[in-house]
A = this chain, B = another copy of it.
Amino acid sequence: MSTFEKLQKAIALNDSILCIGLDIDSAMVPDSFSDISTLISFNKEIIDHTKDLACSYKINFAFYEQYGLKGWELLEQTISYIPEEIVIISDAKRGDIGNTSVRYARAVYDTLRTDAVTINPFMGLDSAQPFITGGYEDKMAFVLALTSNPGSADFQRLGSEGRSISKHVIDKFYSNFNHHSIGFVIGATHPDELAEIRETIPDSFLLIPGVGTQGGNIEAVMKANKGLPAIVNVSRDIIYSSKGHDFALKARDKALYYREILR
């Protein structure tokens, strides 16, 4: 089954467009998990308590890489614990010359066996192609288009030939690749642009981060998206709902809340 289909099925199964970001950090978990070797138990608890509420888990590699080899082990253990029917997104924001991207694609799709990856378009189409074609058509690459952070204004919003760089990225990827093999990352902090962009790419899956701690307004996002294919990511605001023994139950409550308002 392709990731595109798997994502549609997972959304239907759990009646949810919520993606939960497993941004693990020993400084933010309850004290009983402060030892790195116990972080896997934290992730397992979170997964156990939310797996019927999310369509996807997003693994942000930075949070794992900060622990080196132990972090990579945690990454692999976490991925293999996620139920088969839930889409796993490698939030790695990779991208390099083609010969290198081939290896990054192998890492996230073959070695780690995740369903999707986030990629950075700055180096151009040939840097993205190994994540999208050449045997990986059934996977899905979410292309950064307009990110949720203030710095998105620095280069993504620059205008060229009457369009922003973000729009150039979207147009170029949308016209060159199968629409089921790619998606786009549009931050929840830009509902106006989201509405505008949504018109031009109605059939693309969007990955929308920036809700919760980053301050994106969910109602505005939902209105701008018009019910078209999209998943909305929340990380810290769900998994770090409590530092007490009840952390997993509190995370579940928050996930229930987000699933509901994302309907």
Does A83 sit within 8 A of B, measured CB to CB? no
Contact B107 A124 (CB under 8 A): no
Shortest C-beta distance, A113 to chain B (Å), equals 10
A62 is contacted by which of B71, B101, B156 (Cβ under 8 Å)?
B101
Q: Is the CB of B72 within 8 A of A147?
A: no
What residues on B are CB-neighbors of A106 within 8 Å? 66
Residues of B within 8 A of A128 (CB): 151
For chain A residues 40-98, which have a beta carbon within 8 Å of chain B?
60, 62-63, 65-69, 71-73, 76, 93-98
Interface size on A, residues (CB 8 A): 57
A106–B66 Cα distance when bound, in Å, is 6
Question: A65 and B165: CB pair below 8 A?
Answer: no
- CA distance in complex: A6, B103 (Å): 30
User: Which of A115-123, A224-232, A245-253 binds B?
Assistant: A115-123
Partner of A103 from B62, B152, B153, B156 at Cβ < 8 Å: B62
A interface with B by C-beta (< 8 Å): 23, 25, 60, 62-63, 65-69, 71-73, 76, 93-98, 100-101, 103-104, 106-107, 111-112, 120-128, 144, 147-156, 158-161, 165, 168-169, 172, 214
